[in-house]
Amino acid sequence: GAVVSQHPSRVICKSGTSVKIECRSLDFQATTMFWYRQFPKKSLMLMATSNEGSKATYEQGVEKDKFLINHASLTLSTLTVTSAHPEDSSFYICSASGTSGYNEQFFGPGTRLTVL
């Protein structure tokens, strides 16, 4: 099956710093990538939809200036958490959708962000 990687898998940072998370589709071209956030014992909540070469579409309540998303190529999308605070600590997961026309999504392994 299709493989999606995510880097880093775990990051600990100080409050006020910025953190960049990369999501790569390794063996297919991802026209669309999605970023989710998952708090402990909760479901996956969609943050934004990212299409290659265009601006991301953010869900209501997600600050686009705080969570910067760039989808510069068909295999890479990045999420930058700017000026991170402890409440941003969460499990961030990306998923990628290919060009088959069907909506099967392939998930990355996730990034555990801890802001001190």
Partner 1 sequence: GENVEQHPSTLSVQEGDSAVIKCTYSDSASNYFPWYKQELGKRPQLIIDIRSNVGEKKDQRIAVTLNKTAKHFSLHITETQPEDSAVYFCAASRNSGNTPLVFGKGTRLSVIA
Residues that bind partner 1 (CB under 8 A): 31-32, 34, 42-46, 49, 51, 91, 93, 95, 97-105, 107-110, 112
Give the three-class secondary structure for 92.
strand
Tell the smallest beta-carbon distance from residue 39 to partner 1 (Å): 12
Q: Could you tell me which of 98, 105, 76, 72 has the C-alpha nearest to residue 6?
A: 76
Residue nearer to partner 1 on the CB measure, 17 or 26:
26
Closest separation between CB of residue 13 and partner 1, Å? 19
Residue 97 has a CB neighbour count (10 Å cut-off) of 21
